[in-house]
Structure 1
Amino acid sequence: MPALLIGSISALVDTSEIQRGSFNEAFAQHGLDWNWERDDYRNLLTSNGGKQRIADFAKEQNEDVDADAVHATKSSIFQKHLANAGIKTRPGIIDAIRAAKGRGWEVGLVTTTADDNITALLDGLDELSRDDFDVVTDVTSVQESKPAGAVYEYAVEQLGEQAGECVAIEDNVGGVRAATAAGIPVVAFPNENTAGHDFGSTPVTHHVDFDELASMAAGH
């Protein structure tokens, strides 16, 4: 059977601004005179991985920073905000998941974020739980993070599926590259801070429609 693969927690809920605010709070807690404005953050989101963004930014600023520690603080702050933010799922995503299940598809959450972030997000939602997914990946699932295709390859293997019979939804360029590297048809579903990014020839949607996704899976 085919599978619908959701490529990030921000494809489920637009957490981008919560993330940015959490980074800035973490910087302040670590005594860093950094503040990522929205335009700065939009540019930073062309690469994947918050920890790497911190390390790269520190290098640009010629500062010696413990990126692991700052990122751990940011993650803790982010998880607390998720619990209190009254988060809502993005347009069409719940209907698409339900339609996929109703059609006999498997559904995966294919991300390389920390499992604590996934738990915090799902705990903040009434409409979704971990049980709605046939596979959930996290930062420990594979050694190579996106934009490498390893996590998608892992998810497809866990599901016992064929890459061409799956379809992925991704909110950022690195995620799109990861799905493409794994041979999986993908739709870009940009969040409020990746909406201006160049997704090339990848189809872009702002409201997920299951029938459109199903037409992309081989033979369906």
Structure 2
Amino acid sequence: MNLALFDLDNTLLSGDSDFEWAQFLISKGVVDREIQEAKNIEFYEHYKAGTLDIYEFLNFQLSPLTRHSRAELDAWHREYMARHIRPIIGAPARALVKQHLDNGDLCAIVTATNSFVTGPIARELGIPHLIGTIPAVDLANGAFSGAPRGTPSFQAGKIERVEAWLESLGLWWDSFDDSFFYSDSHNDLPLMRKVKTPVAVDPDDKLHQYGTEQGWKVISLR
């Protein structure tokens, strides 16, 4: 059996699910366009530079979830999937996932984006496991608190979260004949170095240079 791990944003998606969620909320008048877009640009520049403070970003990212009921958020998410996500899932990405599923590989999305946003996307792709940043909830009413719970699945945190998931299944890295991780970002280098077969997907400049030097496979899903 093989292990196949997939980054989501700008890897399986031809875009960023968190950015698209923000744009959707702007279109609904839920958040202020000027403030949201300015902060998104600022955080994205830090992300590209590898200097993102993930907790500061998550506080900003998760705060809109706290002001609305789960029923309302779920209804919005269905609209968001139709308008913003399905159009950026390309046939090559679906084919890659299907190839691994048909092979009987254990498949998971590993993403820093929160699991409220990404859970339905994983189901749309037919990927049975999701390792995403977990938004904390108020156990009394199920509402989101605006904070993350546990370790965010970002940079080296992705290794910690994947290993905890594997252990929960009674598995470990050497349980697999081969292990793959597909990603576009140099922020994912820690996990890419951990698997046997790292694959750079439409990579950023830093990942492209590093992957080329290491002889990694480079593909496009666009």
Assess same fold via TM > 0.5. Answer: yes
Cα-Cα RMSD: 4.1
Q: If the length of structure 2 is used for normalisation, what is the TM-score?
A: 0.61
Provide the rounded CA distance (Å) in 2 between the counterparts of 1:143 and 1:38: 22
**Residue 207 of structure 1 corresponds to which residue in structure 2?**
221
- The answer as to 2:220 corresponding to 1:175 is no
Query: Cα 1:152–1:186, aligned 2, differ >3 Å: closer, same or farther?
Result: farther
Q: Flag structure 1 segments of 5+ consecutive residues without an equivalent.
A: 56-65, 209-220
1:169-214: CA deviations, max 9, x gaps? 112221233332x455322213xxxx54311422332139xxxxxx
Asked if structure 2 preserves the Cα contact closer than 8 Å seen for 1:51 and 1:67, the reply is no
Provide the rounded CA distance (Å) in 1 between the counterparts of 2:31 and 2:150: 31
- Identity within the alignment, %: 10
Looking at secondary structure, tell me which structure has more strand per residue: 2
Asked if structure 2 preserves the Cα contact closer than 8 Å seen for 1:54 and 1:71, the reply is no
Asked if structure 1 preserves the Cα contact closer than 8 Å seen for 2:12 and 2:221, the reply is no
**Count of residue pairs brought into register by the alignment:** 185
**Residue 130 of structure 2 corresponds to which residue in structure 1?**
136
Selected match of 1:187 from 184, 199, 206: 199
Give 1:71 shift: 7.4
1:42-63: CA deviations, max 9, x gaps? 53332467763477xxxxxxxx
Provide the rounded CA distance (Å) in 2 between the counterparts of 1:67 and 1:105: 32
Q: If the length of structure 1 is used for normalisation, what is the TM-score?
A: 0.61
Q: Write the mapping of 1:30-109 to structure 2, written as runs, cut at 5 A.
A: 30=32, 33=35, 35-36=37-38, 43-46=45-48, 47=50, 52-53=56-57, 68-69=62-63, 79=77, 80-85=79-84, 86-90=86-90, 92-109=92-109
Give 1:12 shift: 2.1
- The answer as to 2:161 corresponding to 1:162 is no
Q: Flag structure 2 segments of 5+ consecutive residues without an equivalent.
A: 68-72, 135-148
Looking at secondary structure, tell me which structure has more helix per residue: 2
Query: Cα 1:51–1:71, aligned 2, differ >3 Å: closer, same or farther?
Result: farther
Q: Which amino acid aligns with 1:206?
A: S
